[in-house]
Structure 1
Amino acid sequence: MAIGRFFGSLFGNTPEPAAELAQQGDQPPSGPDAEHRETVRSLVNLRTAVRRAGAALPPMVSSMVRQIDDILAPLLEYVGSNGASTEQRVLLNAIITNYLPTPLRAYVALNDRERTDDSEATALLVEQLTILEGIARDLENQVRTGAIAELSTHGRFLDDKFSPSSLTFGEQ
Protein backbone atom coordinates (compact mmCIF):
# COMPACT_ATOMS: atom_id res chain seq x y z
CA MET A 1 0.00 0.00 0.00
CA ALA A 2 3.00 2.30 -0.35
CA ILE A 3 1.46 3.56 -3.55
CA GLY A 4 -1.79 4.26 -1.70
CA ARG A 5 0.16 6.34 0.83
CA PHE A 6 1.88 8.15 -2.02
CA PHE A 7 -1.41 9.10 -3.65
CA GLY A 8 -2.94 9.96 -0.32
CA SER A 9 -0.05 12.30 0.35
CA LEU A 10 -0.50 13.78 -3.11
CA PHE A 11 -3.32 15.94 -1.82
CA GLY A 12 -3.10 15.43 1.94
CA ASN A 13 -5.31 12.35 2.27
CA THR A 14 -3.04 9.79 3.93
CA PRO A 15 -4.81 6.56 4.98
CA GLU A 16 -4.59 5.40 8.56
CA PRO A 17 -1.78 2.85 9.08
CA ALA A 18 -4.05 0.43 11.00
CA ALA A 19 -6.63 0.38 8.22
CA GLU A 20 -3.86 -0.13 5.71
CA LEU A 21 -2.47 -3.13 7.60
CA ALA A 22 -5.94 -4.65 7.88
CA GLN A 23 -6.36 -4.36 4.12
CA GLN A 24 -3.00 -5.99 3.43
CA GLY A 25 -3.37 -9.04 5.66
CA ASP A 26 -0.30 -10.87 6.88
CA GLN A 27 1.44 -11.42 3.54
CA PRO A 28 0.61 -9.27 0.53
CA PRO A 29 0.18 -11.37 -2.63
CA SER A 30 2.85 -11.01 -5.27
CA GLY A 31 3.15 -11.64 -8.97
CA PRO A 32 1.63 -10.15 -12.12
CA ASP A 33 -1.97 -10.35 -10.86
CA ALA A 34 -1.10 -8.56 -7.62
CA GLU A 35 0.88 -5.93 -9.54
CA HIS A 36 -2.08 -5.41 -11.86
CA ARG A 37 -4.50 -5.02 -8.94
CA GLU A 38 -2.14 -2.51 -7.35
CA THR A 39 -1.94 -0.53 -10.60
CA VAL A 40 -5.74 -0.51 -10.85
CA ARG A 41 -5.94 0.78 -7.26
CA SER A 42 -3.36 3.42 -8.09
CA LEU A 43 -5.44 4.67 -11.00
CA VAL A 44 -8.52 4.86 -8.79
CA ASN A 45 -6.50 6.76 -6.16
CA LEU A 46 -5.18 9.12 -8.83
CA ARG A 47 -8.71 9.88 -10.03
CA THR A 48 -9.78 10.60 -6.47
CA ALA A 49 -6.79 12.86 -5.90
CA VAL A 50 -7.50 14.83 -9.09
CA ARG A 51 -11.14 15.29 -8.06
CA ARG A 52 -10.08 16.46 -4.61
CA ALA A 53 -7.69 18.98 -6.14
CA GLY A 54 -10.77 20.71 -7.54
CA ALA A 55 -10.13 24.38 -8.10
CA ALA A 56 -6.35 23.97 -7.78
CA LEU A 57 -6.27 22.59 -11.33
CA PRO A 58 -7.31 24.77 -14.27
CA PRO A 59 -10.12 23.30 -16.39
CA MET A 60 -7.72 22.59 -19.25
CA VAL A 61 -5.44 20.53 -16.99
CA SER A 62 -8.38 18.61 -15.51
CA SER A 63 -9.64 17.90 -19.01
CA MET A 64 -6.24 16.66 -20.17
CA VAL A 65 -5.91 14.39 -17.16
CA ARG A 66 -9.36 12.95 -17.93
CA GLN A 67 -8.32 12.38 -21.55
CA ILE A 68 -5.24 10.48 -20.40
CA ASP A 69 -7.43 8.51 -18.00
CA ASP A 70 -9.73 7.67 -20.92
CA ILE A 71 -6.73 5.98 -22.56
CA LEU A 72 -5.28 4.35 -19.44
CA ALA A 73 -8.43 2.85 -17.93
CA PRO A 74 -9.45 0.71 -20.94
CA LEU A 75 -5.80 -0.16 -21.58
CA LEU A 76 -5.37 -1.31 -18.00
CA GLU A 77 -8.49 -3.46 -18.32
CA TYR A 78 -7.21 -4.90 -21.61
CA VAL A 79 -3.80 -5.70 -20.12
CA GLY A 80 -5.52 -7.36 -17.15
CA SER A 81 -7.49 -9.70 -19.36
CA ASN A 82 -5.12 -10.19 -22.32
CA GLY A 83 -1.68 -9.54 -20.89
CA ALA A 84 1.20 -7.46 -22.15
CA SER A 85 4.97 -7.64 -22.15
CA THR A 86 6.86 -6.89 -18.96
CA GLU A 87 8.16 -3.64 -20.43
CA GLN A 88 4.65 -2.55 -21.39
CA ARG A 89 3.27 -3.35 -17.91
CA VAL A 90 6.16 -1.49 -16.27
CA LEU A 91 5.56 1.59 -18.45
CA LEU A 92 1.82 1.51 -17.79
CA ASN A 93 2.45 1.28 -14.05
CA ALA A 94 5.03 4.09 -14.20
CA ILE A 95 2.62 6.38 -16.03
CA ILE A 96 -0.08 5.79 -13.43
CA THR A 97 2.10 5.84 -10.32
CA ASN A 98 4.79 8.35 -11.24
CA TYR A 99 4.72 10.16 -14.58
CA LEU A 100 1.20 11.54 -14.13
CA PRO A 101 0.91 12.20 -10.37
CA THR A 102 4.39 13.70 -9.87
CA PRO A 103 3.90 16.81 -12.04
CA LEU A 104 0.35 17.19 -10.74
CA ARG A 105 1.59 17.12 -7.16
CA ALA A 106 4.31 19.66 -7.96
CA TYR A 107 1.78 21.89 -9.69
CA VAL A 108 -0.71 21.79 -6.82
CA ALA A 109 2.11 22.69 -4.42
CA LEU A 110 2.59 26.02 -6.23
CA ASN A 111 0.95 29.16 -4.88
CA ASP A 112 -2.31 30.37 -6.41
CA ARG A 113 -0.63 33.13 -8.47
CA GLU A 114 1.47 30.53 -10.30
CA ARG A 115 -1.52 28.29 -11.08
CA THR A 116 -3.50 30.58 -13.35
CA ASP A 117 -4.80 29.51 -16.76
CA ASP A 118 -2.13 31.50 -18.59
CA SER A 119 0.83 31.08 -16.23
CA GLU A 120 4.18 29.62 -17.24
CA ALA A 121 3.69 26.75 -14.78
CA THR A 122 0.34 25.85 -16.35
CA ALA A 123 1.86 25.99 -19.84
CA LEU A 124 4.67 23.69 -18.72
CA LEU A 125 2.23 21.24 -17.13
CA VAL A 126 0.06 21.25 -20.27
CA GLU A 127 3.15 20.50 -22.36
CA GLN A 128 4.08 17.61 -20.05
CA LEU A 129 0.54 16.22 -20.13
CA THR A 130 0.51 16.46 -23.93
CA ILE A 131 3.69 14.39 -24.11
CA LEU A 132 2.31 11.94 -21.57
CA GLU A 133 -0.89 11.54 -23.58
CA GLY A 134 1.18 10.73 -26.66
CA ILE A 135 3.15 8.14 -24.70
CA ALA A 136 -0.08 6.59 -23.40
CA ARG A 137 -1.50 6.41 -26.94
CA ASP A 138 1.73 4.84 -28.24
CA LEU A 139 1.67 2.29 -25.42
CA GLU A 140 -1.93 1.44 -26.16
CA ASN A 141 -1.07 0.97 -29.83
CA GLN A 142 1.93 -1.24 -28.98
CA VAL A 143 -0.09 -3.44 -26.63
CA ARG A 144 -2.97 -3.89 -29.06
CA THR A 145 -0.87 -4.36 -32.20
CA GLY A 146 1.39 -6.74 -30.30
CA ALA A 147 -1.63 -8.95 -29.68
CA ILE A 148 -2.54 -8.76 -33.37
CA ALA A 149 1.04 -9.67 -34.37
CA GLU A 150 0.99 -12.63 -31.97
CA LEU A 151 -2.26 -13.87 -33.51
CA SER A 152 -0.82 -13.48 -36.97
CA THR A 153 2.33 -15.37 -36.04
CA HIS A 154 0.31 -18.12 -34.42
CA GLY A 155 -1.90 -18.31 -37.52
CA ARG A 156 1.14 -18.71 -39.77
CA PHE A 157 2.47 -21.44 -37.48
CA LEU A 158 -0.83 -23.32 -37.59
CA ASP A 159 -1.01 -22.92 -41.34
CA ASP A 160 2.53 -24.28 -41.76
CA LYS A 161 1.95 -27.07 -39.27
CA PHE A 162 -1.36 -28.36 -40.60
CA SER A 163 -1.41 -27.45 -44.28
CA PRO A 164 -0.86 -30.24 -46.77
CA SER A 165 2.81 -30.67 -47.47
CA SER A 166 4.13 -29.93 -50.91
CA LEU A 167 6.07 -33.14 -50.56
CA THR A 168 4.08 -36.29 -50.92
CA PHE A 169 5.30 -39.79 -50.41
CA GLY A 170 4.90 -42.54 -52.95
CA GLU A 171 4.34 -40.29 -55.94
CA GLN A 172 6.80 -40.03 -58.76
Structure 2
Amino acid sequence: MIFRRRSDSAGSSANDDPAAVAGGARGLGDDVVRPVRQLQRELAELVAGANANGGRLPPGAVPTVRDIDDVLRPLLRYIEVQSASEEEMRYLTAIVHEYLPQALGDFVALPAHYADRPGVTGTTPADDLIRQLQLLDEGANELQDLVYTGDAAKLAIQARFLDAKFRRSDLDS
Protein backbone atom coordinates (compact mmCIF):
# COMPACT_ATOMS: atom_id res chain seq x y z
CA MET A 1 0.00 0.00 0.00
CA ILE A 2 1.29 3.44 -0.91
CA PHE A 3 0.71 6.40 1.36
CA ARG A 4 1.09 9.96 0.25
CA ARG A 5 2.12 12.68 2.60
CA ARG A 6 -0.18 15.67 2.31
CA SER A 7 1.23 19.14 2.50
CA ASP A 8 0.20 21.39 5.35
CA SER A 9 -1.39 23.94 3.05
CA ALA A 10 -4.40 23.22 0.89
CA GLY A 11 -3.00 25.48 -1.86
CA SER A 12 -0.11 24.86 -4.17
CA SER A 13 2.89 22.93 -2.98
CA ALA A 14 6.53 23.85 -3.30
CA ASN A 15 6.74 21.24 -6.06
CA ASP A 16 4.64 23.49 -8.30
CA ASP A 17 7.46 26.03 -8.44
CA PRO A 18 10.47 24.88 -10.49
CA ALA A 19 12.77 27.24 -8.62
CA ALA A 20 11.70 25.78 -5.28
CA VAL A 21 12.14 22.23 -6.53
CA ALA A 22 15.51 23.10 -8.06
CA GLY A 23 16.88 23.91 -4.65
CA GLY A 24 15.16 21.01 -2.96
CA ALA A 25 14.35 17.83 -4.87
CA ARG A 26 17.70 17.22 -6.46
CA GLY A 27 19.64 20.04 -4.88
CA LEU A 28 20.69 21.48 -8.21
CA GLY A 29 23.16 24.27 -7.80
CA ASP A 30 23.79 27.49 -9.64
CA ASP A 31 26.06 25.61 -12.05
CA VAL A 32 22.89 24.09 -13.59
CA VAL A 33 20.23 26.68 -12.86
CA ARG A 34 22.17 29.76 -14.01
CA PRO A 35 22.98 28.49 -17.54
CA VAL A 36 19.41 27.23 -18.00
CA ARG A 37 17.98 30.59 -17.01
CA GLN A 38 20.39 32.31 -19.39
CA LEU A 39 19.18 30.03 -22.20
CA GLN A 40 15.57 30.86 -21.27
CA ARG A 41 16.34 34.59 -21.61
CA GLU A 42 18.17 34.08 -24.92
CA LEU A 43 15.31 32.01 -26.31
CA ALA A 44 12.78 34.67 -25.32
CA GLU A 45 14.93 37.32 -27.03
CA LEU A 46 15.15 35.20 -30.20
CA VAL A 47 11.38 34.77 -30.36
CA ALA A 48 10.86 38.49 -29.74
CA GLY A 49 13.39 39.26 -32.48
CA ALA A 50 11.67 36.92 -34.92
CA ASN A 51 8.33 38.55 -34.11
CA ALA A 52 9.83 42.02 -34.61
CA ASN A 53 11.37 41.00 -37.94
CA GLY A 54 8.30 39.09 -39.09
CA GLY A 55 7.86 41.37 -42.09
CA ARG A 56 11.39 40.62 -43.31
CA LEU A 57 11.27 36.88 -42.69
CA PRO A 58 9.74 34.50 -45.24
CA PRO A 59 6.26 33.09 -44.68
CA GLY A 60 6.41 30.24 -42.21
CA ALA A 61 9.58 31.40 -40.47
CA VAL A 62 7.98 33.05 -37.43
CA PRO A 63 5.54 30.17 -36.77
CA THR A 64 8.43 27.70 -36.97
CA VAL A 65 10.47 29.77 -34.50
CA ARG A 66 7.43 29.74 -32.21
CA ASP A 67 7.15 25.96 -32.64
CA ILE A 68 10.79 25.63 -31.56
CA ASP A 69 10.03 27.85 -28.58
CA ASP A 70 6.98 25.72 -27.72
CA VAL A 71 9.28 22.71 -27.40
CA LEU A 72 12.32 24.32 -25.80
CA ARG A 73 10.66 26.59 -23.23
CA PRO A 74 9.00 23.72 -21.26
CA LEU A 75 12.10 21.59 -21.76
CA LEU A 76 14.26 24.31 -20.21
CA ARG A 77 11.89 24.56 -17.23
CA TYR A 78 12.07 20.77 -16.85
CA ILE A 79 15.88 20.76 -17.04
CA GLU A 80 16.04 23.59 -14.53
CA VAL A 81 14.40 21.21 -12.05
CA GLN A 82 15.63 17.79 -13.16
CA SER A 83 18.95 18.64 -14.83
CA ALA A 84 20.23 17.02 -18.02
CA SER A 85 23.30 15.22 -19.26
CA GLU A 86 26.27 17.21 -20.52
CA GLU A 87 25.52 16.10 -24.08
CA GLU A 88 21.88 17.20 -23.83
CA MET A 89 22.94 20.59 -22.42
CA ARG A 90 25.55 21.03 -25.16
CA TYR A 91 22.97 20.33 -27.86
CA LEU A 92 20.37 22.58 -26.25
CA THR A 93 22.89 25.37 -25.81
CA ALA A 94 23.98 25.06 -29.44
CA ILE A 95 20.40 25.39 -30.68
CA VAL A 96 19.60 28.45 -28.57
CA HIS A 97 22.99 30.14 -28.50
CA GLU A 98 24.34 29.37 -31.96
CA TYR A 99 22.17 27.67 -34.60
CA LEU A 100 18.90 29.57 -34.25
CA PRO A 101 20.37 33.07 -33.85
CA GLN A 102 22.83 32.47 -36.70
CA ALA A 103 20.12 31.32 -39.11
CA LEU A 104 17.86 34.27 -38.29
CA GLY A 105 20.71 36.79 -38.14
CA ASP A 106 22.24 35.72 -41.45
CA PHE A 107 18.90 36.04 -43.21
CA VAL A 108 17.98 39.41 -41.71
CA ALA A 109 21.43 40.76 -42.58
CA LEU A 110 20.79 40.14 -46.30
CA PRO A 111 19.41 42.96 -48.38
CA ALA A 112 15.68 42.36 -48.86
CA HIS A 113 15.93 41.90 -52.63
CA TYR A 114 18.25 38.89 -52.19
CA ALA A 115 15.78 36.89 -50.08
CA ASP A 116 13.94 35.41 -53.07
CA ARG A 117 16.88 35.27 -55.44
CA PRO A 118 18.20 31.76 -56.20
CA GLY A 119 21.79 31.24 -55.20
CA VAL A 120 24.48 28.82 -56.34
CA THR A 121 22.54 25.84 -54.97
CA GLY A 122 19.38 26.78 -56.85
CA THR A 123 17.50 27.59 -53.67
CA THR A 124 16.70 31.02 -52.32
CA PRO A 125 17.90 32.32 -48.97
CA ALA A 126 14.24 32.28 -47.88
CA ASP A 127 14.00 28.58 -48.76
CA ASP A 128 17.28 27.90 -46.98
CA LEU A 129 16.10 29.68 -43.82
CA ILE A 130 12.82 27.76 -43.75
CA ARG A 131 14.70 24.48 -44.19
CA GLN A 132 17.14 25.35 -41.41
CA LEU A 133 14.28 26.27 -39.07
CA GLN A 134 12.49 23.01 -39.88
CA LEU A 135 15.67 21.07 -39.09
CA LEU A 136 16.05 22.95 -35.81
CA ASP A 137 12.42 22.19 -34.96
CA GLU A 138 13.03 18.49 -35.64
CA GLY A 139 16.21 18.63 -33.57
CA ALA A 140 14.42 20.31 -30.67
CA ASN A 141 11.74 17.60 -30.72
CA GLU A 142 14.40 14.87 -30.81
CA LEU A 143 16.20 16.49 -27.88
CA GLN A 144 12.94 16.69 -25.94
CA ASP A 145 12.32 12.98 -26.57
CA LEU A 146 15.88 12.16 -25.53
CA VAL A 147 15.60 14.03 -22.22
CA TYR A 148 12.16 12.73 -21.28
CA THR A 149 12.83 9.15 -22.45
CA GLY A 150 16.06 9.07 -20.47
CA ASP A 151 14.35 10.19 -17.30
CA ALA A 152 11.44 7.78 -17.89
CA ALA A 153 13.96 4.94 -18.27
CA LYS A 154 15.58 5.89 -14.95
CA LEU A 155 12.15 5.78 -13.34
CA ALA A 156 11.45 2.32 -14.81
CA ILE A 157 14.81 1.00 -13.58
CA GLN A 158 14.12 2.34 -10.09
CA ALA A 159 10.65 0.72 -10.13
CA ARG A 160 12.14 -2.66 -11.06
CA PHE A 161 14.76 -2.32 -8.33
CA LEU A 162 12.14 -1.46 -5.71
CA ASP A 163 9.90 -4.26 -6.92
CA ALA A 164 12.73 -6.78 -6.55
CA LYS A 165 13.78 -5.35 -3.21
CA PHE A 166 10.41 -5.14 -1.47
CA ARG A 167 8.07 -7.63 -3.15
CA ARG A 168 7.62 -10.81 -1.21
CA SER A 169 8.63 -13.88 -3.14
CA ASP A 170 7.12 -17.35 -2.88
CA LEU A 171 10.22 -18.40 -0.99
CA ASP A 172 9.48 -15.93 1.87
CA SER A 173 7.06 -17.96 4.03
Q: TM-score, normalised by structure 2?
A: 0.73
Q: Spell out structure 1 runs of 4+ moving beyond 6 A.
A: none
Q: After the TM superposition, which residues 148-159 of structure 1 pair with which residues of structure 2 at under 5 Å, given as runs?
A: 148-159=152-163
Q: CA deviation at 1:159?
A: 1.1
Match of 1:129 in 2: 133
Match of 1:97 in 2: 97
Q: CA deviation at 1:37?
A: 1.1
Q: CA deviation at 1:167?
A: 4.8
Structure 2 residue runs without a partner (length 5+): 1-28
In structure 1, give the amino acid aligned to 2:55: A
Which secondary structure does the structure 2 equivalent of 1:125 belong to?
Answer: helix
Match of 1:44 in 2: 44
Match of 1:138 in 2: 142
Match of 2:83 in 1: 83
Identity within the alignment, %: 35
In structure 1, give the amino acid aligned to 2:157: T
In structure 2, give the amino acid aligned to 1:85: S
Structure 1 residue runs without a partner (length 5+): 1-28
Q: CA deviation at 1:52?
A: 2.3
For these two proteins, the number of residue pairs brought into alignment is 141
- Distance in 2 (CA, whole Å) between partners of 1:54 and 1:117 is 19
Q: CA deviation at 1:137?
A: 0.7
Which secondary structure does the structure 1 equivalent of 2:55 belong to?
Answer: helix
Q: CA deviation at 1:33?
A: 1.0
Q: Deviation digits for residues 109-157 of structure 1, max 9, x if unmatched? A: 1111122498611111111111111111111111111111011000011
Q: Residue 58 of structure 1 contacts residue 117 of structure 1 at CA under 8 Å; is this kept in 2?
A: no
